[in-house]
Amino acid sequence: MASLALPAHPRPSVSPTPRFKTPSLRSAAPRLVVSNAVAGGTSLRWFQKEKINLSKHVNESFHEEGDWENLDADVYHWTRSLRPVQWYPGHIAKAEKELKEQIKLMDVVVEVRDARIPMATSHPQMDSWLGNRKKILVLNREDMISAADRNAWANFFSRQGIKVVFANGQLGMGTMKLGRLAKLLATGVNTKRRAKGLLPRPVRAGIVGYPNVGKSSLINRLLRRRMCPAAPRPGVTRELKWVRFGKDLELLDSPGILPMRISDQAAAIKLAICDDIGERSYDAPDVAAILVQMLTRLPAVGLDTLCKRYRIDSEGHCGKIFLEKLALHLFNGDVSQAAVRVLSDFRKGKFGWIALERPPR
């Protein structure tokens, strides 16, 4: 399977004839005001230089495929002047080396990704490590995305011939299907062993993926007991561990594996938003400001929803100014506390269950 890392492509220039028909800024309500400072340290002058079509920020003009691509391009540009998000603690380097050795023992590999950001949680080297081994893709936290998001990703992976399981590791949804599919894909292992006169052995399935995507929770739900440490933060699992599931399946729990260097900073910001990377790797106000700018562009949320939730007024789509107003309203001007609140509310589904990515065309 080809790598699904989010492409970092430059923003396309605006043609004289706009692709989508957008409402006039004068007639839009509320009136659109773009601040001289937006998340990422960009300015109005930079927007003018890049020939940004400001009317695309109006919520009603969002179109499914084209504007998802435009949003991805904008996230890339918003991150250009921010401090790079990088996190590669020592236990990950050690675990990566050990995982490469353990892969040789696996009959089938279960790659777990965050259903909110399936592309951002795809390791760029995973396919090269696995070689020809059979793989099952699990999109965990399916309860955190909409039915439309789920259908879009199901169709995308189906067209590629990839076996995908949607799961909720906290409640156990999808775990039994995962166990059956792992055994089914590896049935040929014991067939070959019998042909050689060897006794059958349990199927070995390795559970791999980024930090905090729910690998240990899935295993605990499969085993129906807490065999692997699990907590809602990255870096809890620090060593590889084989556990037995019944008589015919063994599972390998592994620490979250990240690239040594994350070159796609748009993907890195999404990891930070979804709490799939260590919090020391990023500045919460910068990440929360970009999240606000993303949410104002999505019809499922929009600026009005954000303003009503926090009971503040904001005419523009600038994440930094929104956080400053929220900080003054609720946190005595502490922008860091305002940022933590916005990120926490998103992670808890306070804005609704939405994905931050859609499949590429």
Which amino acid type is present at position 212? N
Same domain, 175 and 306: no
Given this model, what pLDDT does residue 1 score? 42
Percent of residues, the chain, with pLDDT higher than 70: 78
Same domain, 122 and 243: yes
Given this model, what pLDDT does residue 55 score? 34
Lowest mean pLDDT among 205-219, 291-305, 322-336, 341-355: 205-219
Same domain, 213 and 289: no
Q: What CA–CA distance (Å, rounded) separates 358 from 152? A: 7
341 domain residue, yes or no: yes
pLDDT-derived band at 9 (thresholds 50, 70, 90) equals: very low
Given this model, what pLDDT does residue 224 score? 65
Same domain, 291 and 236: no
**Torsion angle, CA of 17/23/27/31, rounded to 10 degrees?**
-100
pLDDT-derived band at 343 (thresholds 50, 70, 90) equals: very high
Range of the domain at 305: 64-83+283-347
* Among 336, 338, 344, 275, residue whose Cα is nearest residue 312: 338
Given this model, what pLDDT does residue 351 score? 93
pLDDT tops 50 at residue 190: yes
Q: What CA–CA distance (Å, rounded) separates 92 from 88? A: 6
Given this model, what pLDDT does residue 132 score? 85
Lowest mean pLDDT among 210-224, 278-292, 297-311: 210-224
* Among 136, 83, 88, residue whose Cα is nearest residue 112: 136
Same domain, 118 and 140: yes
pLDDT tops 90 at residue 166: yes
105 domain residue, yes or no: yes
pLDDT tens-digit readout, 97-143: 888 888 888 888 999 999 999 999 999 999 889 888 889 999 999 99
pLDDT tops 80 at residue 34: no
Per-chain mean pLDDT for the chain = 79
Same domain, 214 and 302: no
Over range 68-96, report the average pLDDT.
88
pLDDT tops 50 at residue 42: no
Over range 300-316, report the average pLDDT.
90
Over range 178-206, report the average pLDDT.
84
pLDDT tops 50 at residue 29: no
Same domain, 116 and 74: no
Q: Is the distance from CB of 296 to CB of 306 less than 8 angstroms?
A: yes
3-class SS of residue 249: strand
pLDDT-derived band at 254 (thresholds 50, 70, 90) equals: confident
232 domain residue, yes or no: yes
Boundary (domain end) residue, out of 237, 253, 269: 253
* Among 234, 231, 196, residue whose Cα is nearest residue 217: 231
Given this model, what pLDDT does residue 39 score? 58
Same domain, 184 and 295: no
Same domain, 169 and 304: no
Given this model, what pLDDT does residue 66 score? 59
pLDDT tops 80 at residue 51: no
pLDDT tops 50 at residue 6: no
Greater confidence (338 vs 54) lies with: 338
146 domain residue, yes or no: yes
pTM, 2 dp: 0.77
340 domain residue, yes or no: yes
pLDDT tops 90 at residue 311: yes
Same domain, 213 and 309: no
Given this model, what pLDDT does residue 175 score? 80
Boundary (domain end) residue, out of 236, 253, 270: 253
Q: What element of type H or E holds 251? A: strand 249-253
27 domain residue, yes or no: no
Same domain, 234 and 290: no
Contacts 24+ apart (CB under 8 A), 157-163: 160/1, 162/1, 162/135, 162/137, 163/135, 163/136, 163/137
78 domain residue, yes or no: yes
Boundary (domain end) residue, out of 211, 234, 253: 253
Percent of residues, the chain, with pLDDT higher than 90: 41
Same domain, 115 and 240: yes
34 domain residue, yes or no: no
Lowest mean pLDDT among 26-35, 208-217, 240-249, 305-314: 26-35
> What domain count does the chain have?
2
CATH code for the domain in which residue 117 is found: 3.40.50.300
Sign of the CA dihedral with 179 first, then 147, 111, and 236 last: negative
